[in-house]
Structure 1
Amino acid sequence: MTNFSLTRRGFLRATGLAGAATVLAACGTPGGTSSSGGGPAGTEITMFHWAGAQGTVPEQVGKAFAASSGVTVKYIEGTNADTFPKLVSSVQINASKPLVNLGFFNAQSFSQGNGQNLWLPVPDSVTAIDQVLPEYRVPDRRGAYLVMDAMGLVYSKKAFPTPPKSWMDLFAAANRGKVTTWDAPSFGVNALPVIAKLNGGSESNLQPGLDVFENAAKAGQLRGFIASLDALRQQLNSGEVVIAPGFQGVAEPWIQAGDPIGFAVPTEGVMAFPEGFQIVKGSSDAQVDATAKLMNQIFSPENVSAYCNATGTLPLVQGAKLDAKYADRPSFQLSTVENAIRLDWNALVAAIPAATKVWNEQVKAHI
């Protein structure tokens, strides 16, 4: 697939009706041919990936790459909310020994890392990222987006015979004491920017959203904060929590596994959430060489297809395809993407320090 449309309409037409793809052996080049020069033998690198189904394909690719190249690949599994601060701390302690060399980060972490000079430009040798859709390419090759997830509402089907309809259902009295979200400063995933925008604020002015969360905390709306995706899944299954901000790509494997969990597209729109990989500054030349070769494999259309079909995310790499089973799912349709709430991530990141202070004083203090 070469002449890939640059518009979302063409993108979804090309991906939404395609058949299933399987993970290629990661020792192949992006074009699928075999290569034994994966990196300097004896080099050790660490890759951060997300938990659950989000980690399956990255580890499969990493293990195949390690087997073919002689590079040792170690893994850290977790969330951005937990791992990104640990990465920052690691480079503060020793700039030449970052916690990870290659990391799977979200848009908020991309922007935060830029501000803290954490990222290296992706080497020109990583030709696979040249197939990322132009509108999602990262300036100066400071990382590359792989997929886009949709943030909406995850909910208990036992509590909601019909899906919730609005972001503001998080604050409905009927759900009091059974709502959760992520703690500050993870505002890119805890719905604060969306709630602020829906109540007259913006990424630069989060106070209207903070006011809504403050009133909710005082009223006992929030059961508490979550620290892991496993915890969110357990609480939704047990009924301790009945609704929370969440991602389609996170919820889809749970849904496929038969959990009584649903994903709802709010009438106001989902929040668009691009995700991808960064090479971390402080890595040695040998580690950069190895991570670049591994990154080239991760971004092959076949591996992007496999990741998206395993996680329910939308591919941002030309040639990657979604399974046909997603074609009639409302949350995978063009209208969902066109109506998505898109954030100014740089503005949000600039607002985080002040908003975190207010959150701790006005929201967290009442939990």
Structure 2
Amino acid sequence: MTNHLSRRDLLRTTGVAGLSLLGGGLLSACGAPGGSSGGGTELTMFHWAGAQGEVPKRIGDAFAKKNGVTVRYIEGTNAETFPKLVTSVQVNAKKPLLNLGFFNAQSFAQGAGEGLWAPVDDTLVPNAAKVLPEFRRPDGLGVYTVMDAMGILYNTKVITTPPKSWLDLFSPEYRGRVTTWDAPAFSVNAAPVINKLKGGTEDDLSKGIAAFSVAAKKGQFNGFVSSIDQLRQQLNSGQVVIAPGFQGVAQPWIDAGDPIGFAVPSEGVMAFPEGFQLVKGSRSAQLEEAAKLMNEILAPAAVSSYSAATATIPLIEGAELPAAFRDKPGFQLKTVKEAIQLDWALLAKNIQQATDRWNRDVKAYL
């Protein structure tokens, strides 16, 4: 990849147009809400923890002060927060847990299927028109802003040569020192990727789950992680030496000097779009202010800042890929072009079936 390659050129020539079909959302562990008080309308925004939350929270605080509203925050990951949102709407459809949230592909698709999302009004969110065409949602439910790459995280003190394959997760060499995420967070636990590599499709994860089942019976896994901080701690300590994980999550740890590496598997990284949703059931005033806040988060300069903070690839026209990432393997044109793509909408329709099989064939043996 050359430094002058534009974001549009990068993504249009990579063969990732199929991602426009994705639905989606992800992980989790929700923290206690914090917030900035400006009075007026009260909004609750969900953002991911750590570096992923810095830019949205900074923009939210500035927005609250400028517009005389109160913005409260729920910090964490999709895996726990999304189910809590679903439960809140089931209890009272007019009092959702949050009004504006940052979700991954799996949660995007699940939420659309369950009727959770409110449409994005282009007059209030003009920056939505700057999303690269390949990543626009035709249903108008939510806006993708960045793309992350999922590969393999590993402890560099124990594994001195980067892993080369997704199947290294099952190597006997690492028995008892592998982790992943529990169901139903299939967007991050690598089961759909392994399933695809073994000839399966997103509407039936049995082939991938069978591989995890065999490994679980042999004692391959140390257990499941339930938060990003837990994953980092286990990798740092050597309790776990290899796990599926995201480049955008790992890069700040690597920059901080953690003994953690990110490997691009020979079969390809998993492409993972992420973005914002408005939650149906919010009051009209909340939806209006949340849409305006979304628009500011989608501004090219804001997306550039988010990309720089999170090692993700911008999907907004005019946003720049930070120079510090242009020579990293996970951002190379070849890597993005050869990324493994999932049909998130199809996956979301079969989450319960896959979860039941996972609980029976994998979790039961840990």
Question: So what's the TM-score if we normalise by structure 2?
Answer: 0.90
Alpha-carbon deviation of 1:6?
A: 4.7
Alpha-carbon deviation of 1:285?
A: 0.6
Alpha-carbon deviation of 1:140?
A: 2.2
Alpha-carbon deviation of 1:7?
A: 4.6
Partners of 1:151 and 1:270 within 8 A in 2: yes
- Corresponding residue for residue 58 of structure 1: 56
Partners of 1:193 and 1:203 within 8 A in 2: yes
Alpha-carbon deviation of 1:160?
A: 1.1
Residue correspondence of structure 1 range 1-367 to structure 2 within 5 A: 6-8=8-10, 42-124=40-122, 125-367=124-366
Output the CA distance in 2 between the equivalents of 1:182 and 1:242. Answer: 15
Output the CA distance in 2 between the equivalents of 1:68 and 1:208. Answer: 52
Unaligned runs of 5+ in 1: 13-39
Alpha-carbon deviation of 1:5?
A: 7.1
**SS in structure 2 at match of 1:161:** coil
Unaligned runs of 5+ in 2: 1-5, 15-37
Alpha-carbon deviation of 1:324?
A: 1.4
Output the CA distance in 1 between the equivalents of 2:48 and 2:346. Answer: 25
Partners of 2:176 and 2:222 within 8 A in 1: yes
Alpha-carbon deviation of 1:8?
A: 3.3
**SS in structure 2 at match of 1:48:** strand
Partners of 1:41 and 1:69 within 8 A in 2: no
| AA aligned opposite 1:74 | R
Output the CA distance in 2 between the equivalents of 1:351 and 1:288. Answer: 30
**SS in structure 2 at match of 1:74:** strand
Output the CA distance in 1 between the equivalents of 2:324 and 2:362. Answer: 41
| AA aligned opposite 1:60 | R
Superposed CA deviations along residues 27-60 of structure 1, whole A, max 9, x for unmatched, are xxxxxxxxxxxxx960000000000000000000
Output the CA distance in 2 between the equivalents of 1:333 and 1:236. Answer: 25
Output the CA distance in 1 between the equivalents of 2:11 and 2:341. Answer: 17
Partners of 1:46 and 1:74 within 8 A in 2: yes
Alpha-carbon deviation of 1:11?
A: 7.8
Alpha-carbon deviation of 1:272?
A: 0.2
**SS in structure 1 at match of 2:204:** coil
The runs of at least 4 consecutive aligned structure 1 residues that moved more than 6 Å come to none
| AA aligned opposite 2:152 | L
Partners of 2:12 and 2:134 within 8 A in 1: no
Alpha-carbon deviation of 1:202?
A: 1.4
**SS in structure 1 at match of 2:350:** helix
Partners of 2:144 and 2:275 within 8 A in 1: yes
Size of the aligned set, in residue pairs, is: 337
| AA aligned opposite 2:10 | R
Partners of 1:6 and 1:135 within 8 A in 2: no
Superposed CA RMSD in Å reads: 1.4
Output the CA distance in 2 between the equivalents of 1:107 and 1:56. Answer: 21
Distance change (3 Å), C-alpha of 1:126 and 1:265: same
Superposed CA deviations along residues 149-173 of structure 1, whole A, max 9, x for unmatched, are 0000011001111111100000000
**SS in structure 1 at match of 2:239:** coil
**SS in structure 1 at match of 2:240:** coil
| AA aligned opposite 2:254 | I
**SS in structure 2 at match of 1:141:** coil
Distance change (3 Å), C-alpha of 1:67 and 1:302: same
